[in-house]
Structure 1
Amino acid sequence: MNDATFDEARWGEVIRQIGEVGRMSGSALTLYDTQGADVAVFLNQVFLLGQRRKDWEHRYFTDYWARDERVPRVAQLEHGHLVSTGGLYTDAEKKTSPTWNEALVAAQAQDGLCVRLDGPNGVGLVWELCDSTERGGWSSDQIRLIEQLQPHLLQLAIVRHALVEAEVGGRSATDWLANPRAGIIHLDRRGRIMATNDRALDTLRRRDGLMDLEGFLHARMPEENAELSRLLALALRRWGVRSSGGSMAITQLSSRPRRLALHVTPVGDDYPHFRTRRLGAVVLLVDPTSRARLDAVHVAKALDLTRTESELAVALAAGRTVKDFAQMIGRTEATVRWHLKQLYRKQGISRQVDLVRRVLSLEGLGAAPRDL
């Protein structure tokens, strides 16, 4: 999982191996954000029998998601509480629900499991597991493995999401150092700072929230420094002991108070090294509020939209609703929805989540990113 953090191409392989080791027919991952007016889905991936099924991802959101009875119930689940998929439907719903009688039957998931996991800054993950391939259903060792994997899978999803948000490219930790929109810090196996990019170096020099203290990373606030020390200890364990990543918030007080998201990711290693300056972990610093502004004029040019269509697209990408936009421009919701349909037709899409992803991919056009 740690290696998949650096290389997105390995994400599918991680899910496939989890399915094999956990002895399950498949699983689905949904990463979402609740900070805006509506829940925004950033990632939805379905794996059946070891294969990514994009056709099922599209089919679910097109045909079932809006009328799936379990959706509001999943949102109310307690963090980390594993429940049976069947328990999310009433007996009456099992007789009439298209999702239960069609989608879950085809995906072999009626006897599956579901868990919701909370991350920092409103980000969360829903992990749905298809039926067990074991005779007799789910065994205690399968449940134990799933519970053990939960925090690691959540951390992988959170960091991958943070990398996408910060537009961090590259397939290695070294590649990340060239990124101008996020702070990147390399630590050796003893926790000593090996390298930083310009953004992280500026943060450390200002000693605002984080600082370089005799070559080691420290947080200014005592309680945050204690949590940082704990995360680094988990990530930089001695060889032969399993390491793990983690996330926390760092408070900055200069200029305007804000909190940075700090993610620690250990660098995997399958054999011992005698070099003391071996890379041990990567620290990613992201300001969750520092999204580059979306310029409606540039979005209109890039997507060939009218002024109203581009302003609507930008508003939805910023977390506003159709009702909000209608009030902003003094039109009826019906008129705005007509514009939205025209926008969908031009882009060849049918879902708001696809529109938001497309607009966010243009972030930064015509505007400079804010400072970290």
Structure 2
Amino acid sequence: MSSQPVKVKGRCLPTLDDLVEMLYTAATSSLGWDEFLQAVVEASDSRSARMLVLNADADQVTSSVQWQIDPGYHQRYVDYYVNTCPWRPELRQKPPGRLYSTYTDFSCPQPDYYRTEFFHDWAGPQDIHHGACGTFYRDGDQTLQLLVQRTRRQGPYLAQDMRLLNGLIPHLQRAAMIQRQIVACEGLNRSVSVAARLAPLPFLLFDEQARVVHLEPAAEALIHQDSRLHLNHDRLTLGVPHQGPRLNHLIRQAVRAAQGHAWATAGGLIHLEARGVRPLNLLVAPLPPEAKAFHLCPYPAHAALFLHDPAQTRQVDQGLLAELHGLTEAEARVAAELVTGASPGQVAELLGVTDHTVRTQLKAVFRKMRVSRQADLVRVVVTGPAYRRSVGLPGFSLSPPD
């Protein structure tokens, strides 16, 4: 892997300069990682190569890209064999920032490797006998590794091979930092766009640490005016103490859902009331996770907090609500009144019916709208197309990804 072209069987192998150029192209466009790995394989006379994004303990693969590894075998590696590899425990202890030869830099001798389950069931059938592997980037929650493999015929990676491969490591580290910055900005912009489409309400966005990372202007104005909401150093706190822990719990739960976990139970509503101050609903919702493309650093997960003022000039289109969810006219009327923050008893008094009638209708509404709590009912209504401004601006449906 020199800086001068080397011809093998009439064709020029990639040089180190070629690989570096391909590396930064992939890092800044999120495309071309497989072409980069192909070039690494060719330049180092290897069989195959992989880049793995793992968790902080480096025992679980969260995403990856590979060249000349059978997809079925790779999935088996991700599901199980990653932790049967005889070199992995020792690799976790080795300093990051370089690659290591499995032949010269690990304590497992080659004969012992051939007796392992990993070789017998996974590596051997693919003619993988030697490797060069290492962690080139690590932060608090993820580990990035490059692994290159050779067949028995190609032989082990020796000192000269490792010097050539390790020439890529500083560039891989810079590429990881560059892509982290690009993906963070791009991910936030996408989350803002998604939240703006989900509901015609003022909103804030929170990151995985429950910090405010985006404050929509209307939400900023509302927070400034409402004594129950306090924003200080990117942290939102409530002037209603017993509701603060619940808000933090809902935000963290929603962020976890945005990462692809437990969508159905994520999010919720907090109803704030205080003497002399009009009610305010806080609706927490996960934002749909991004489609999985390979990134050295994944898109950040965000949760949205929508601020719903029941006194604003918005209304529920009861006819559309009934059509969307198969409600009767009476059931749609009850659901619409509950959006204002009224209790079932207050709805009964307003509509001139008994509490029993309202509660019976409410059970039917819950069943038809597939919710189990009034908070979920309000969330579904105010973030759906039946919730409109008085001038007719439509809302948008909030639903998990397919």
TM-score by length of structure 2 reads 0.40
Larger relative contact order (C-alpha < 8 A, sep ≥ 6)?
A: 1
Larger radius of gyration: 2
Report the TM-score when normalising by structure 1: 0.42
